[in-house]
Amino acid sequence: MKVRYASEITGKKADALVFGVFEGLKDLMDKDAEQLKKLGFKGKVGETAVLPGEGNFKTIVYVGLGKKGEIDSEKVRIAAAKGIRTAKKSGAKRVVVDFPEVEKLGGKETKAVAEGIIIGSYKFSKYKKEEDGELKEIVVAGKKEFKKEFEKGKIFAEAVNFVRDLVNEPGNVITPEKLAEISEELAAKYGFECKVFDEEILEKEKMVGILTVGRGSKNPPRFIHLSYKPKKSEKRVVLVGKGVTFDSGGLNIKPEQFMKTMKSDKAGACAVLGIMKIIGELKPNIEVHALIPTVENMPDGRAYRPDDIIVYKNGVSVEVHSTDAEGRLILADALIYGSELEPDVMIDMATLTGACVVALGHYTSGLFTEDDRLANKLLKAVKETGEKMWRMPLDEDLKEDIKGAYADVQNVGKTRYGGAITAALFLQKFVDSKKVKSWAHIDIAGPAFLDSEWKYYTSGATGQPVRAVAETIIEGE
């Protein structure tokens, strides 16, 4: 599917025109408004109606933008997505999208049109015989001055779909070694440096968490380090992503209803790769390191067990209480390694706890950081991107809950309460505050993978929080 931006669409022929209108239908010709009213079309956000076209367009898909005074980028994304989907259902291959009123609003909304179209038309259909037609070409009408924003929207949306493709692939296809291969391909494409640690190097580097959790699987563990170093750099950023290619729970095996969908336990790692893709495209003046600890968590004769004690490179000893709390064990190695890079900002993202989903629901990520500025930047970014995030406390008083009986810490809290917070407090033990200026942890267990369709997302992987984190690290001071 090709998506183009054009400042001139007169004379352009297409199977369908997707036309955005506000509630009240004031800007339409009387005849069209009349017909739409007969169909009961009001112009609410994402509402669609199809009328036969004339001239250059075989059909016209009207899509609602809601009340004129209340338009924002997220509504534009929803409308663009619904409009395109309706055009596709009507059998269109070539589509022109015209949101004339939105164009008047500005660059952000123009970027949102591109995102809505590309994110909204995504489907993970690789393994299915094609059921319906494919869109071939989409031309979006808009002012020349916003072309750059439109192209930026394309880059962001394509990175999101890249992440979704990776996350949606099952555990028999994407193993830790495969994830390393994909990272190497990305590095080759954008000229990043790429180091992959196999078991021998993992031993040398004392990455005990990755080695311990990885031992139960035939698919060996890996640690991946991608780096982008521009000639002129304003700051150093480290991104860390949890890459559990399948989480069975290990010896503390998950019940079946919770094991299904655990192919998505690598969503943090994939999100980090998606952000690197955006970095590779936009080439900002910031140094960015992507760190991915990746394992498959399986029960086996060699698997790690409850009661095991491991001692990390930074001296912290950990008592294993549940082999299903594996994410924090592998992230610990990456956070120790990331601290050594002495970054200005370190952000980790992980499908870390079911407790975070209990706390915030399926659509919202949990954000943990002591840095108010970084928190505000991220929260401002999600307001624009529509990826929901909510700040949670790194409550000192809960530290008692992860104190170990025989080691410094245990990998699970003594009670279930505040499980997302105790997981974050566990991670904090491995961030060297003398070397890392600012650290944030994002628990994406809820929104990384959805059971059903939501807004412009189909069910399955969403690619969250790629857009917000990319905006946050790229945006200047």
Contact segment (CB under 6 A) with ligand BES among 25-33, 72-80, 155-163, 346-354 equals 346-354
What are residue 24's phi and psi, to 5 degrees?
A: 100, -20
Return the number of the residue (156 or 368) whose C-beta is nearest Zn ion: 368
| Contacting ligand BES within 321-340 (CB under 6 A) | 322, 324-327
* Residue 414 C-beta: closest distance to ligand BES, Å: 11
Contact segment (CB under 5 A) with Zn ion among 11-19, 244-252, 416-424, 436-444 equals 244-252
Q: CA–CA distance from 419 to each of 359, 442, 446 (Å)?
A: 9, 14, 14
Return the number of the residue (98 or 324) whose C-beta is nearest ligand BES: 324
Residue 144: strand, helix, or coil: helix
Q: Is 217 in the site for ligand BES (CB under 6 A)?
A: no
Binding residue for ligand BES, selected from 351, 410, 462, 472, defined by CB under 6 A:
351
Residue 305 annotated among the catalytic residues of the structure: no
* Residue 249 C-beta: closest distance to ligand BES, Å: 6
CA 92 – CA 57 distance, rounded (Å): 10
Closest CA to 441 of 401, 389, 382: 389
Return the number of the residue (152 or 242) whose C-beta is nearest Zn ion: 242
**How far from the centroid of its chain's Cα atoms is residue 396's Cα?**
29
Residue nearest to ligand BES (CB): 354
Binding residue for Zn ion, selected from 142, 327, 386, 447, defined by CB under 5 A:
327
DSSP 1-44: -EEEEES--TT--EEEEEEEE-TT-TTS-HHHHHHHHHTT----
Contact segment (CB under 6 A) with ligand BES among 160-168, 184-192, 354-362, 457-465 equals 354-362
| Contacting ligand BES within 408-467 (CB under 6 A) | 412, 419, 445
Binding residue for ligand BES, selected from 71, 330, 357, 374, defined by CB under 6 A:
357
Residue 46: strand, helix, or coil: coil
- Please report, to the nearest 10 degrees, the dihedral formed by the alpha carbons of residues 327, 241, 176, 202 taken in order: -80
Active-site entry in 12, 254, 380, 399: 254
* Residue 411 C-beta: closest distance to ligand BES, Å: 8
**The 409-410 sheet, strands edge to edge:** 309-311, 317-319, 409-410
Active-site entry in 75, 94, 242, 328: 328
Return the number of the residue (344 or 395) whose C-beta is nearest ligand BES: 395
Return the number of the residue (30 or 451) whose C-beta is nearest ligand BES: 451
DSSP 255-282: PHHHHTTGGGGGHHHHHHHHHHHHHHHH
Please return the burial class of 174, using the count of CB atoms within 10 Å of its CB with bins 0-12, 13-18 and 19+: buried
CA 1 – CA 452 distance, rounded (Å): 24
Return the number of the residue (115 or 247) whose C-beta is nearest ligand BES: 247
Contact segment (CB under 5 A) with Zn ion among 51-59, 241-249, 387-395, 433-441 equals 241-249
3-state helix, strand, coil in the chain (%, to 5): 40, 25, 40
As a three-state string, the secondary structure of 163-185 is HHHHHHCCCCCCCHHHHHHHHHH
Residue 328 annotated among the catalytic residues of the structure: yes
Return the number of the residue (244 or 357) whose C-beta is nearest Zn ion: 244
Q: How far apart are the first and last CA of the chain?
A: 36
The token pair at 138 is: 């989409």
Binding site for Zn ion (CB under 5 A): 244, 247, 265, 324, 326-327
Binding site for ligand BES (CB under 6 A): 247, 265, 322, 324-327, 351-355, 357, 412, 419, 445
**Active-site residue list:** 254, 328
